[in-house]
A and B are shown apart, each in its own frame.
Chain A
Amino acid sequence: MFCFQCEQTDRTGQTPGCAGARGNCGKTPVTADLQDLLVHAVKGIAQYASRARVLGAGDDDAARFVLFSMFTTLTNVNFTPTRFVSLLREAEGVRNRVRERYEEAARARGLVPEALSGPATWSPEPDLDGMLRQAAEVGVRAGLDVVGPDVVGLRALCLYGLKGVCAYAHHATVLGLHDPKVYAEVEDLLSFLADNPTDPDQLLERALRVGMLNLDVMRLLDAANTGTFGSPQPTAVRTTPVAGKAILVSGHDLKDLAALLEQTAGTGINVYTHGEMLPAHGYPALRAHEHLVGNYGGAWHEQQVEFARFPGPILMTSNCIIEPHLSYRHRIFTTGPVGWPGVRHLTEDFRPVIQAAMAMPGFAETEEPERAITVGFARDAVLSVTDRIVDAVRQGAVRHFFLIGGCDGPTPGRNYFTDLALSAPQDSVILTLGCNKYRFNDHDFGSIGGIPRLLDLGQCNDTYSAITIALRLAKEFGCDVNELPLTLALSWMEQKAVAVLLSLLALGIRNIHLGPDLPGFLTPNLVARIVDEFGLRTVGDPAEDIATALGRR
């Protein structure tokens, strides 16, 4: 195996990358290799799909298969080799269907169908050993000796950004929002990568296209979430347990949470959110379920302790699963793209989860005193008080905004984001999104003129809210986003964050502090270029960065 797609990749060797008996995420070499092969297979689908779509013969089902397949290869999503073997076989069938559609459409227009090469011609070997031999030829470093590490790094930047895009787009599609233009762009970009591009300028330009595509996708996802569940409203969320049977829901998928809430209605079971599911409480249609009683625990990397302690079953709805300990392996369930060998996978019917909850003790008593945190400051909630915010800035009550978002993780370097938030001056406002917020969201930041100093915009999936707010403030102040009194600190961990980073770069937003470490797939040459062209910054000393942001230096 070789994998360097996430922030926690092994950095002990000469070049970053996990290549040992297991990845740092817990991925086995078999799973890692099958994921590489699945990426290869969907590139093959995209080669035909992009051409078919140009001829008016787009296959949206195939596009959704591509989104789902790519999502399964994100960090901490699916670790089950069998699932990948199934997907690989399905991929061949999808590719054949798309190829036929393309060839028929071409012939119908009097064109000679192109004879494609590369991933388009791939077929799975009949057994696992054969597939692993195939995978050895198509890893993310394929061609390294010929094209060099910079080109490999840029291809990885495009690919990993696309993985994030696909994950976000999948979240939107499960809520029924589809955009063939998004599918077309995903197919085009994957088809581009299938041709093993070697021009660094072209690769960087495509990486920014991935970023622009991600903006469209985030807008689509925002519309899907708010269209289905209403616009988030500021909501106090209980963080202490309530007596009674209990189910914990983690991950990002609001539709799965809604389905579970409906299936548990009237059972007496209380449902708690975990990790990135916390912002669900802000949505009116979800909050309407009285048995959605609160949030339990913190960010994803605490799950082995928190899940073991939780007195009920756990449903994992999207990324961020880590190896389930034996103590709770029988009561954790996966759904959607998620999977772990030996963990029961469910599709829409959550009766086994409910059965487990009924068989388990739940919380014996309600913890007192009750504690709570406030969520739900998405774009509508924040923009509804735009006038007050603008006035506060003009009057000097608010001197600066810090947008501290992204993923949390266990590495000490992430203390930067905690220190940045806690050291931010009292006349600043902190906007946050993603699970990085758990580092400081139990701190009482107070308020400025009725505006809370900490505004939780939502999941990482809600980046569109953050961008909308920034663009609106820039408009109000008649300036460029880069001229706003705004500092962006992005804590990245996996490929959704790569997509968000590319979106910010594509928007021309400069001086983003990215950390705790820069992506392992970016070579020193690439880092130098991105720093030079986009003003990307690493994370350093929080006090210095705050001082710089406030213009003291």
Chain B
Amino acid sequence: MTDTVARQTLSGSHPVTMTTADGEVLEIRCGSDQTVVDAAAAAGFSLPSLCHQGTCGSCRATVTSGDYQLGSHSPEALPPDRGRDVLLCRTVPCGPITVDLPYDHGRILMGGIPTHTATIADLRVVARETVRLDLQLDPDEDGTLGSQFDAGQFAQLEIPGRDVKRSYSLCNTGNWEGRLEFLIRLRAGGDFSSYLRDEARVGDRLVVHGPQGAFGLHETGLNPRWFVAGGTGLGPLLSMVRRMAEWQDPQPARLLLGVNEESDVLGRAELDEIRMLLPDFTYDISVWRPTSAWSGHVGTPLDLLRRDLPSTPVLPDLYVCGPPALIDSVIEIATTHGITEDHIFYERYLPN
């Protein structure tokens, strides 16, 4: 953990002016020992955030003016030397500050995170130690049946009666049938993983908190969109390309999926289906340590990026989801080839 201190003296209540990517301005006051995320919650709205401990990176933003204290946080969630980038769950203003939020106003939940109940509709193994979990939401109190979310968002799943909550990205698209789909890597010793591996059955009840999160598609014109996924980091990116297919978005799209072994390959059927619907979509699966039977690309998506970016006529927007090392490598390769950081959108996969 690192500990950055912009100024030590903290006192009083300070105005915080936040500007969203689509130009909306939010003003709150933040107590002298209060983080910006907590102050926003006290003011009645939830900024995209998850761990509240400086470990997940989902509340990252940029302080454009003013002094602040940045509490201890994981360097994987916010690498050092990131200028005035902060994690708002660890940011305590020392005076008036202004903040640029990297997401649209629509991603801020007014009145808190919605909670729903749901039933497990399907649960099946789709790759080694990986399952697809389908949930069917119950209708809302007013009778509305639907699961509305933006591609790239996640939900927290809770087992009723147990203190176990885990966040997973949705891999389908918003719909009016109440369907939620997740790709989940089962982790050794993980509480929710153990539940899914050993206990969960179709018909079981779960609590769903969300949708949440700022990761999503951005309108930047007709630049090609390249999606880079590591393992189940495919989930939110699959949601994005599915949405592109459903909405018939005009941008050319390419997805690069990297896994360790052939038995880890997932999502092929879904990707083939998208290819039928979205003519200008291609995908490549890279296996790092294949058997001799593997006929596809050997290596990682990073190899493909290095190989293909120099010959690309129009530089793509990059959407990346995977472990921090993958994200950092993609950023390094992309910036080397002239893609500016405002065209790189990512979500770090960290344990939560």
Bound: A94/B145 CA distance, A: 44
Shortest distance between the CB of A176 and any CB in chain B (Å): 25
Shortest distance between the CB of B159 and any CB in chain A (Å): 27
Tell me which of A40-48, A79-87, A278-286, A527-535 binds B: A79-87
B251 within 8 A of A: yes
B161 within 8 A of A: no
A342 within 8 A of B: yes
B148 within 8 A of A: yes
The one of B144, B145, B221 that contacts A128, using a Cβ cutoff of 8 Å: B221
A86 contact set on B, CB distance < 8 A = 222, 250
Bound: A86/B247 CA distance, A: 15
**When the two chains form their complex, are residues A326 and B222 in contact, meaning their CB atoms are under 8 A apart?**
no
Shortest distance between the CB of B140 and any CB in chain A (Å): 8
Bound: A82/B146 CA distance, A: 27
Shortest distance between the CB of B139 and any CB in chain A (Å): 9
A352 contact set on B, CB distance < 8 A = 176
* Nearest-neighbor residue (CB-CB) of A345 within chain B: B247
B23 contact set on A, CB distance < 8 A = 21-22, 28
A361 contact set on B, CB distance < 8 A = 142-144
The 8 A CB mask of A348-370 against B (1 = contact, 0 = none) is 00001001101111000000000
A360 contact set on B, CB distance < 8 A = 143-146, 176
A311 within 8 A of B: yes
Shortest distance between the CB of A491 and any CB in chain B (Å): 28
B22 within 8 A of A: yes
Shortest distance between the CB of A336 and any CB in chain B (Å): 16
* Most-contacted residue by chain A among B174, B219, B223, B250 (CB, 10 A): B219
Bound: A80/B177 CA distance, A: 27
* Most-contacted residue by chain A among B143, B221, B247, B249 (CB, 10 A): B221
Shortest distance between the CB of A326 and any CB in chain B (Å): 5
User: Per DSSP, are chain B's interface residues mostly helix, strand or loop, or mixed?
Assistant: loop
Give the number of residues in B that approach A within 8 Å (Cβ atoms): 29
**When the two chains form their complex, are residues A82 and B219 in contact, meaning their CB atoms are under 8 A apart?**
yes
* Nearest-neighbor residue (CB-CB) of B176 within chain A: A359
A422 contact set on B, CB distance < 8 A = none
A356 contact set on B, CB distance < 8 A = 146, 176
Bound: A82/B249 CA distance, A: 9
**When the two chains form their complex, are residues B222 and A82 in contact, meaning their CB atoms are under 8 A apart?**
yes
Q: How large is the interface on A (under 10, 10 to 19, 20 to 34, 35 or more residues)?
A: 20 to 34
Shortest distance between the CB of A91 and any CB in chain B (Å): 13
B313 within 8 A of A: yes
B271 contact set on A, CB distance < 8 A = none
B150 within 8 A of A: yes
A341 within 8 A of B: yes
The 8 A CB mask of B122-135 against A (1 = contact, 0 = none) is 00000000000000
**When the two chains form their complex, are residues B251 and A82 in contact, meaning their CB atoms are under 8 A apart?**
yes
The 8 A CB mask of A52-91 against B (1 = contact, 0 = none) is 0000000000000000000000000000111001100100
A131 within 8 A of B: yes
A89 contact set on B, CB distance < 8 A = 222
Bound: A128/B224 CA distance, A: 11
A126 within 8 A of B: yes
The 8 A CB mask of B90-117 against A (1 = contact, 0 = none) is 0000000000000011100010000000
Given A28-B23, A126-B314, A326-B110, CB of A82 within 8 Å of CB of B221: yes
The one of B106, B145, B176 that contacts A329, using a Cβ cutoff of 8 Å: B106
List residues 59-106 of chain B with CB under 8 A from any CB of chain A.
104-106
* Nearest-neighbor residue (CB-CB) of A358 within chain B: B176
B220 within 8 A of A: yes
Shortest distance between the CB of A334 and any CB in chain B (Å): 11
Bound: A359/B142 CA distance, A: 11
Given A82-B222, A86-B222, A342-B106, CB of A330 within 8 Å of CB of B314: no
A342 contact set on B, CB distance < 8 A = 104, 106, 150
B143 contact set on A, CB distance < 8 A = 360-361
Given A28-B22, A356-B176, CB of A127 within 8 Å of CB of B144: no
Shortest distance between the CB of B315 and any CB in chain A (Å): 8
Bound: A519/B98 CA distance, A: 36
* Most-contacted residue by chain A among B104, B144, B176, B220 (CB, 10 A): B176
A289 within 8 A of B: no
A81 contact set on B, CB distance < 8 A = 219-221
Given A86-B250, A360-B144, CB of A131 within 8 Å of CB of B177: no
Bound: A326/B222 CA distance, A: 25
A255 within 8 A of B: no
B250 contact set on A, CB distance < 8 A = 82, 86
The 8 A CB mask of A119-139 against B (1 = contact, 0 = none) is 000000011100100000000
* Nearest-neighbor residue (CB-CB) of A124 within chain B: B222
A97 within 8 A of B: no
Given A22-B23, A311-B142, A326-B110, CB of A128 within 8 Å of CB of B220: yes
List residues 186-232 of chain B with CB under 8 A from any CB of chain A.
219-223
* Nearest-neighbor residue (CB-CB) of A81 within chain B: B219
The one of A85, A311, A330, A345 that contacts B222, using a Cβ cutoff of 8 Å: A85
Given A126-B313, A127-B314, CB of A85 within 8 Å of CB of B221: yes
* Nearest-neighbor residue (CB-CB) of B315 within chain A: A127
Q: List 18 A-B contacts (CB under 8 A).
A: A21-B23, A22-B23, A28-B22, A82-B219, A82-B222, A89-B222, A127-B315, A326-B105, A326-B106, A330-B146, A330-B174, A331-B148, A341-B219, A344-B247, A345-B247, A359-B144, A359-B146, A359-B176
CB-CB nearest 7 A-B residue pairs: A128-B221, A359-B176, A330-B148, A361-B143, A85-B221, A359-B145, A22-B23
Known A-B contacts: A82-B251, A89-B222. Give 6 more (CB < 8 A).
Answer: A82-B219, A85-B222, A131-B221, A341-B219, A352-B176, A359-B177
